[in-house]
Structure 1
Amino acid sequence: MIRRRTAAAAGLAALAGFALLAGIVTARGGSPLPVDRALLSWAVGHRPATAVTAIRRLTDTGTGAIPYVLAAVAGVIAGRTKRRKLIAAAASLLCLGAGQLLRRAVLHLIGRPRPPAGEWATHASGWSFPSGHATTAALTAALLITAVLLRSFPGRTLVVAVIGCWGAAVGLTRVHLGVHWFSDVIGGWLFALAWYAACVVAAARWLPALTTPAQKNGTDPGHDAGPRPSR
């Protein structure tokens, strides 16, 4: 599946991008970038009531219990035996939970203010960078996509596309609702990718059977092939 070197390279690139963006945000004292102001202005001017209601419902899927349920489902999909399903589900939940804790630490370290409260179309609290909803949804989507790619079934590409669109859309709702700058969302996506890559590298090291397809003819360590015939 996803090889350790590829994951490490992608993770380092995402981490470098996040560090650069965080440095820019910090150097500006948390003030928005030109693109942040432009996109917020556009969002405020394009908020029909029906759209806002639907967007609020979509944004709610990126927080609370839903991402954790989806992360556990990803583990169940990835595992090929009951034992592996439990281990994979626990690993997915650990990846998501630990990522949340690390993101909160970064959030308080940078301490970027949110957009003006007068622009908000939903409730929000705390600092702004990186976006929690964007991070959570992107990380959950990555876990689900990885699990789906470990399986082979008709329509797999479509399922992956839908999951990816959901993960991206949740982040974008935060800008449309006026509670995050666009750079907060980009920061959340980069943070999620970097952390996900770190988790993949760790899983490839400590849980190799969960990161590669099961081998045939009983050669998979977790496959119960029964006794082999004597020769």
Structure 2
Amino acid sequence: MTAAGPEPGPAANGPQPEPAQGHGTRPRPGTAALLTFAAVCAALFAATALTVSLRNGTPLAAEQAAVRWSGAHQGEPSRSMAGALTATGSGPVPYLMAVLAGLLAGERARGRLRAVCCAVAVLAAGQAIRYGLMELLARPRPPAGDWTGSASGYAFPSGHATTSVLAAGILAWGIARRARPALARTWCAVLALWAAGVGLTRIYLGVHWPGDVLGGWFLAAGLLALALLLEPFALGRPGRS
């Protein structure tokens, strides 16, 4: 009769180290949830785009009323404030936000560079998709005589609305990877208000119909959900559902 050997302890089974994570690392939503959210946003965008297309770009009565109301309620300093806010929704500001997001999300120099490149690529791809859809649908803008801000190209979907939501979402992702939950939620709320404000200024300044802004929001939200599926690649980590 042989004596039984000692029971294998934790050391015999081998330690199972947890992967290193940043200070504010959050679990990514599941693939099914992200795909469902993206599908809902795509359906809302498609419904808005279909309405625009079937009407040959002619605005709904509610859209015309909103632009008329905005024109009748413009004055200083609200007009200058709207112009300053709308200017942050295009140009270098969104790309600086994407760079900051990558710096916050990445670990070490190589990881930060990878995250920055991915964040900027998502923003640039979203803008390219928006531009292609804008040219395809070719919706006219409100009458130029009513504009109190600068604009170019067709109306749908709004470039400022799309870009600001993309930039806000990307930066919120970077902050959520680094900051404590309470601070991350605060910044997410601030970024959401900023993006909403940029979109609303496009209506207030008379350069977009409300449907253009809604379309931009739906498009950007769906693209952000799809981009989150690539988070493991951006961070150089194995994917997890």
Q: Same fold per TM (> 0.5)?
A: yes
- Counterpart in the other structure of 2:171: 144
Matches within 5 A, 1:184-195: 184-195=212-223
Shift of 1:207: 4.8
- Counterpart in the other structure of 1:66: 93
- Counterpart in the other structure of 2:70: 43
**Letter of the structure 2 residue corresponding to residue 194 of structure 1:** G
- Counterpart in the other structure of 1:106: 133
1:70-90 deviations in Å (ceiling 9; x for gaps) = 111011111122221111110
- Counterpart in the other structure of 1:158: 186
Given that 2:130 and 2:159 are in contact with CA atoms closer than 8 Å, whether structure 1 keeps it comes out as yes
Secondary structure in 2 matching 1:150? helix
Match of 2:200 among 167, 172, 194: 172
- Counterpart in the other structure of 1:182: 210
Secondary structure in 2 matching 1:49? coil
1-side partners of 2:171 and 2:107: how far apart?
Answer: 15
Structure with max Cα Rg: 2
Secondary structure in 1 matching 2:135? helix
Amino-acid identity (%): 37
In structure 2, stretches of 5+ residues that fail to align are 1-27
Match of 2:35 among 8, 27, 35: 8
Q: TM-score, normalised by structure 2?
A: 0.83
Count of residues paired in the alignment: 212
**Letter of the structure 1 residue corresponding to residue 76 of structure 2:** A
The 3 A distance-change label for structure 1 pair 148 and 210 is farther
2-side partners of 1:107 and 1:116: how far apart?
Answer: 18
Matches within 5 A, 1:109-120: 109-120=136-147
1-side partners of 2:141 and 2:104: how far apart?
Answer: 37
The 3 A distance-change label for structure 1 pair 115 and 163 is same
- Counterpart in the other structure of 2:150: 123
1-side partners of 2:39 and 2:178: how far apart?
Answer: 27
Given that 2:106 and 2:235 are in contact with CA atoms closer than 8 Å, whether structure 1 keeps it comes out as no
In structure 1, stretches of 5+ residues that fail to align are 213-231
